Structure 1
């Protein structure tokens, strides 16, 4: 029972730590008069992937690569089927915002590169560096596109992260809380998830693909639900696409540099193909401008439920 309590506690610390760290970092950047566009493309984007990043780093240090890679692959699957499917039961949305199709193609490209790296069941340090370079190129491209479009980046930031502090003591307090909570929560999560995997006699991959992935996808789910309720489709869909790109580019870029990550046969032969199918599904919805309403949402939730159930059975 203690392991389950520690797992919930660890995930809770990750969610709270990631949220307050982003708010503190955005508040500090605004006080330093950093352009809103740079804040949105760096601090907010990296911050929403902070739980997955700290989980993967801790898993790499603890010698549990199954949780690290499983968390990234599982989060990308959950982001499409769960994070897009569940809000659709509340209000319909479409993948037809300007520029979203281009970013979905980038997401598919990152997914394909990552899959090629997984074929030998090892993500090396060199491959991690390659993913980081690709992410930096993507960020530069986003900067150029956003600068040309002259979008109201400040408004988009606060729609996504909410109100941010302006008081320096509060900013530093939030940064301190986030920087303490994230590694501590990651350690609790990895240790308890590994113990639960041993108790259930399932692989660490399965725990990373399901329980840990769902837990670390909760910030994206909360953001997407709120954006859907406000009819902010660009925030909702962009949040999922951006998170999937950052999960691969930053997390699988940084973690293997700390320690090369070994992937199991299950992830190579099954789960990474499910991840690709989810990316292609999102591309199809965008290309044909299909409304993601209750019917499509129900299908997506059902598919995700069956995927999770199959992960524990097989």
Structure 2
């Protein structure tokens, strides 16, 4: 048991460090190619911080544990809203000051509803995965076309260039850390699930989901301490879109992913409800206060407690 816990911790650490290294190296490479910072933020950083979810979901599906793959995506989206935004708002209230926020929240809700439909369908097939990825590509193209503007402070920070050898080291080392970390995490999580008699779906919805969301959590908490908590809102919305339309779609393109009935009837609808609640809160109040943030964390704690 102790060995499995150490493997779990080691896997989470490698995933977090690997994602950070990969993003740094990829940003430098993108700058070398002359990509605009906005596109780097949407694609390189978006996919980079979602790489732990992608590799964990892929390895879980290939290893015959699709419940972990789906639970990872659904659980990450729920944790992003209730845990990450909740913690960020508790540190510093979040104001909705992001350009085109309504457009992005609409896309996040559309992705959540697609996930709901997939749950009732019972499987994410190759063609459904391809269609979802095409929708993501179209959305990114639309955002890139409509969001041409002056650099914000956060986008200016994406203009980074490393020396060639260091850039290669960051990219290769980051990928290696992600691959090895994902393998350790899946092996440890499935072993713990079997030892305690907990379903793989619950493990995916809780431990794996929170673990693969650590890059987003770290980014959001740092932003909140710097009084830029609104960045956390953008990170969460973008990550939730990527998780369903990018992570799950790419996993399904490699291997069809069945969806358990228990997730289709409770966990996915719960994720949709949290997405709707977030959108309603932003549209009505225009901000997430400290009290609301603490309430969100309390709801997430209750949800996880109920699952376990």
**Range into which the TM-score falls when normalised by the shorter chain:** over 0.9
Contact preservation (8 Å) 1:7, 1:193? yes
* Match of residue 289 from structure 1: 285
* Match of residue 56 from structure 2: 55
Larger mean CA deviation between 170-179 and 31-40 belongs to 31-40
CA distance in 2, matches of 1:303, 1:242: 22
C-alpha RMSD of the superposition: 1.5
TM-score normalized by structure 2?
0.96
TM-score normalized by structure 1?
0.94
Question: CA shift at 1:32, angstroms?
Answer: 2.6
* Match of residue 97 from structure 1: 98
Question: CA shift at 1:232, angstroms?
Answer: 2.4
Correspondence 1:9-158 to 2 at 5 A = 9-147=10-148, 150-152=149-151, 155-157=153-155
Question: CA shift at 1:282, angstroms?
Answer: 1.1
Larger mean CA deviation between 287-296 and 109-118 belongs to 287-296
SS of 1:228's partner is helix
Counterpart of 1:259 (choices 255, 261, 284) is 255
Larger mean CA deviation between 303-312 and 94-103 belongs to 94-103
Larger mean CA deviation between 237-246 and 89-98 belongs to 89-98
Counterpart of 1:221 (choices 197, 212, 217) is 217
Counterpart of 1:207 (choices 197, 203, 224) is 203
Correspondence 1:157-176 to 2 at 5 A = 157=155, 159=157, 164-176=160-172
Contact preservation (8 Å) 2:88, 2:220? yes
CA distance in 1, matches of 2:297, 2:219: 18
CA distance in 2, matches of 1:56, 1:20: 20
CA distance in 2, matches of 1:172, 1:70: 33
Structure 1 unaligned blocks of 5 or more: none
CA distance in 1, matches of 2:42, 2:298: 33
CA distance in 2, matches of 1:123, 1:61: 14
Which string of whole-angstrom CA distances, capped at 9 and with x for unpartnered residues, describes residues 9-44 of structure 1?
Answer: 111111111110010010111123222222122111
Question: CA shift at 1:112, angstroms?
Answer: 0.6
CA distance in 2, matches of 1:3, 1:104: 38
Structure 2 unaligned blocks of 5 or more: none
CA distance in 2, matches of 1:303, 1:96: 25
Question: CA shift at 1:224, angstroms?
Answer: 1.1
